[in-house]
Amino acid sequence: MRKQLMKVLPGILCAAFLLSACAAPAGQQAPSQTPYEDPAGSGTQSAQTAEPAEEPAAQEEAPEEEEVTAETPEETAASEVTAEEKDAEKKAREEAEKEAKEKAEALRKELLTAAGEEDPEHPNDVTITVGQEGEDYPALSRIYSRTQEELKDINPNYVGVLYIPALKQVYPVTWVAYDNDYFLEHNFEGSESQLGGIIVDGWNQPDLSDSVTTMHGHNMKDGTMFGSLQRFLSSPSLAENEPYIYFYMEKTVKKYRIYSYFTTDIYDRVYDVPEFYEWSEEMTEDGAKVFRDYLNNWYDAYVYDLPVRAVHEVPEMNFEKRPRILLLSTCYGAPHGTDRLPLICVLESEYYLEK
């Protein structure tokens, strides 16, 4: 019976369509004919003259597709519950990560303090004294047009001003905890820029108190940002004639001696700085001593081959007291590659800023 109905159904539908068109009320036109493209390429013909056999089949199959794809109210509710659960899991995971970082940071500071107190021979520090502008360090007002108060108003992430006399470069520097991306894509004022900014690594302390602090900056072809560091490679006399760089903070000025520079890649151990936030909080009472020993052993290994790889004659320096190190890092070679140019500087003096 179904097969017989399928045979006569197209004729019935076609007749009904013609009858309705002829019976249109006065003043109304019959439905317009929709163009139909012949798959065989015979041109365009009206829907009335096209093969209609496939239309009823499509009409019959449509309900079956709806039945297969439609969701029941129970299924819809289940999917909504799953989405809510995913959001809750994501929030819980983010809160846990934040809490873990805060605990790790607190532990790290505690261990650093304990290690310093128990190891007076390796204080990892220099004495802070009152210095004289122009004699011990250049006056910031003579090398930069903005004051520290102005810089802090412009950008709340401001931490200091870096001055490299050999290159005649001055940079305001920012820091954001655990984030090295934003200010490599935005300038100091916060606008999107390919130049980016000079930043203290987000895993370091903003006061440059870590054993090794890394600063990042783009290597621009025109020599701006840290593109200027390449000049040390081509002119070793720059570091010989102007061996110091300075970092101006709110209350102090740090004076570093340029020690070593060379080309390498991101897999070099010079970039393998201890990530203190990964230290477990489940440490014994001897945790500070373990941490101190680890830090000293790592520090010795870090500085061991710096003079060997240097592309210039390095100055004589004493690393027994573990003076803090500042590493200025930029890309080198092909854009977006893994090659790097590190400039290693050693903290020599620190002065109070006179107000």
Distance CA 224, CA 239 (A): 18
At residue 231's C-alpha, the angle toward residues 229 and 236, to 5°, is: 110
- The average pLDDT across 214-219 equals 92
- The Cα 273–Cα 299 span in angstroms is 9
The 10 Å Cβ neighbour count of residue 266 is: 13
Contacts of 175 (CB under 8 A, 6+ apart): 157, 159, 199, 200, 202, 204, 206
Q: Coil, strand or helix: which one is 89?
A: helix
- Least confident range of 49-53, 75-79, 345-349: 49-53
Query: Which of residues 326 and 62 earns the better pLDDT score?
Result: 326
What is the per-residue pLDDT for 119? 54
Token pair 């805060």: residue = 102
Record the tokens describing residue 206, joined without a space: 């903003």
Nearest alpha carbon to residue 208 among 244, 245, 249: 249
pLDDT at position 261, please? 94
Cite the beta strand spans of 75-175 per DSSP E. 128-130, 158-164, 169-174
Q: How far apart are CA 186 and CA 183, in angstroms?
A: 5
Report the distance separating Cα 184 and Cα 194, nearest Å: 8
Measured distance CA(334)–CA(332) in Å, rounded: 7
Per-residue pLDDT for 343 more than 90?
Answer: yes
- The CATH code of domain 127-269+324-352 reads 2.40.260.10
The pTM of this model reads 0.65
Contact call for residues 223 and 234 (beta carbons, < 8 A): no
**pLDDT 10s digits, 293-311:** 777 788 888 898 899 889 8
Q: For residue 280, what are the CA distances in angstroms to 88, 98, 119, 297?
A: 27, 15, 21, 19
The full set of domain ranges for the chain reads: 127-269+324-352
pLDDT in tens, 88-132: 888 888 888 777 667 656 665 665 555 445 455 556 667 788 888
